[in-house]
Amino acid sequence: MLTTGALSSESLGDGSRKRQLKYLYSYMFMIFTPAALFSSFFPLYYKDIGYTDAMYGMQNAILPIIGMVANYLFGYISDKFGSMKPMLISMYVLLMGVLYFIFQTSDPWIVMGLVFLFQFLWIPAMMLTDSMAMLAARRLGDSYAVIRGFGAAGFAVAALLIGWLLDALPGNSSMGWIAIALVGLTCCALLPIRDPRRQSVDDRKGSTGTSAATDATEPTDATVASDPKGAQREPVQMRELWKYVLTKRFILFAFIMLIYQMTFVFNDQYFSFLIREVNGTAFDIGLGWMLPAAIEVGVFLYLGRSNKRFKPLPMLAISAVIMAVRAFVIGMTDSLPIILFMQAVQGVAIAIFFVYLAEYMMELIPDRFRVSGQATLSVVLSIGATMTGSLIGAYIYNQWGLKMLFYAMGVLLIVTVVGFFIAERQEKKRRAQASISESN
């Protein structure tokens, strides 16, 4: 399981820590409400305004490049200046403006250009939020799994309610105003949260009793950030990041994740089409996205509160096995209830995936490079997984249909299972060599 540092949590007063956790839970809940709308219903909006299959495939192929540039740019700025919150607030304000214009035009090409601008802001906002959750988990003495569980709850609630609202209030303008409102509420939920990279007054008051422990550990962002009165923060030299990234561990893991993420791309881009193909309604689409998110909540909370520890790579392999079974079953059925049931099963795999991906990333990359490390992995996945997955997915869909697409997902997931076990074998060798070196 994920471990969180008591060191940082001790430096906060108990009342202040609890308040910050409540604010963080609320923010994580809120940011996944617009995420539910974007992933569940935007693909249908594109088709409604006249996107062709070629346009949809081209957009999905270009978006990874935009995400790659945006993630690296904003990740670098965040690590360089030790700040997250002001950037996120600015992004949300701009996102509301872009969303307004997206739903004020019906020209597919103009919409595509605005979608590119939208994703340039939204993709790094999600990446920064995930990094914020990891850092805050350490600083506030909570589990990343529990924090992420509130995000899953937000996604589940929003997917169901938005599906119901869009059935009750048909029309693209309704979708636009719902999206703007949800992004605005997300921005409001962020306001009371302390930037996890900024040292607060409470942090400084509690730092006396923990200074010795701090010296004995690698500095975290909470301990090296500058405070408002000018305390020095450890400078981040981005070239130091590459000694962690250009290792066999990171490269092998990134390659496995590239294959795994391709299956997410297949699913996210075509699941709504699958529901429509079996005569489902907008409510059914929302239900299909709500069920896995609802299951994720319980799994996140269990993993976050459980004292059981599991190695991350075998757990990631288990998540891939579950996803493979789901893909093959969906490929073999036309039954909407069975498809929805397999969506619920997917929730278990997704929760395991996110928890142990975060845990392994914490092992691979030090906290002071948290955002840039996440961004580097995102760059690999954007170029490799999302772009390749979009192109291959569009080709399979156009040539053989949705059923073959889900069979292809199953095959790729089996490959990732093998990859994770190869990586775990390499980890065992590395740990054995480290143990021998220490004994000598």
Scored b (16 or more CB within 10 A) or e, 5-24 reads: bebbbbbbeeebbeebbebb
Q: Are 127 and 278 in contact (CB under 8 A)?
A: no
The span from the CA of 354 to the CA of 257, in Å, is 12
The span from the CA of 229 to the CA of 227, in Å, is 5
CB count, 10 Å around CB of 390? 23
**What are the residues whose beta carbons fall under 8 Å from the beta carbon of 44, sequence distance 6 or more?**
272, 276, 282, 285
Please report which confidence band the pLDDT of residue 414 belongs to, taking 50, 70 and 90 as the band edges.
Answer: very high
Please report which confidence band the pLDDT of residue 9 belongs to, taking 50, 70 and 90 as the band edges.
Answer: very low
CA 347, 352, 356: angle at the middle one, nearest 5? 155
Copy the structure tokens of residue 423.
């990586």
Among 151-160, 270-279, 367-376, whose mean pLDDT is lowest?
367-376
CA 150, 151, 156: angle at the middle one, nearest 5? 95
Task: Please give the pLDDT value at position 379.
Answer: 64
Task: Please give the pLDDT value at position 76.
Answer: 78
Nearest by Cα to 396 from 377, 378, 372, 412: 412
Task: Please give the pLDDT value at position 440.
Answer: 62
Q: What is residue 240's DSSP assignment? A: G
**At the top level of CATH, which class does the domain 15-198+240-430 belong to?**
mainly alpha
Q: What is residue 369's DSSP assignment? A: G
Mean pLDDT of the chain: 79
| DSSP per residue, 227-239 | PTT--------GG
Please report which confidence band the pLDDT of residue 121 belongs to, taking 50, 70 and 90 as the band edges.
Answer: very high
Distance of CA 346 to the CA centre of its chain: 16
Q: Can you tell me the mean pLDDT for 4-23?
A: 64
The span from the CA of 190 to the CA of 127, in Å, is 15
Q: Can you tell me the mean pLDDT for 204-232?
A: 39
Q: Can you tell me the mean pLDDT for 419-431?
A: 87
Copy the structure tokens of residue 222.
């909470």
What's the Cα-to-Cα distance from 422 to each of 234, 248, 313, 317, 429, rounded to whole Å? 37, 12, 9, 10, 11
pTM above 0.85, yes or no: no
Please report which confidence band the pLDDT of residue 241 belongs to, taking 50, 70 and 90 as the band edges.
Answer: low
The span from the CA of 420 to the CA of 310, in Å, is 14
Give the type of residue at 97: G
Copy the structure tokens of residue 301.
């909370």
Task: Please give the pLDDT value at position 404.
Answer: 92
- Terminal Cα-to-Cα distance of the chain (whole angstroms): 30
CA 195, 197, 198: angle at the middle one, nearest 5? 70
Q: Higher pLDDT residue, 179 or 285?
A: 179
The span from the CA of 201 to the CA of 204, in Å, is 5
Q: Higher pLDDT residue, 11 or 307?
A: 307
**What are the residues whose beta carbons fall under 8 Å from the beta carbon of 358, sequence distance 6 or more?**
2, 130, 134, 144, 148
Please report which confidence band the pLDDT of residue 228 belongs to, taking 50, 70 and 90 as the band edges.
Answer: very low
Helix ranges restricted to H, 191-280: 201-206, 211-215, 221-224, 242-245, 248-277
**What are the residues whose beta carbons fall under 8 Å from the beta carbon of 14, sequence distance 6 or more?**
none
Copy the structure tokens of residue 179.
């999206």
Q: Can you tell me the mean pLDDT for 406-428?
A: 92
Please report which confidence band the pLDDT of residue 7 belongs to, taking 50, 70 and 90 as the band edges.
Answer: very low
The span from the CA of 271 to the CA of 53, in Å, is 15
Q: Are 74 and 124 in contact (CB under 8 A)?
A: yes
Alpha-carbon Rg of the chain, whole angstroms?
22
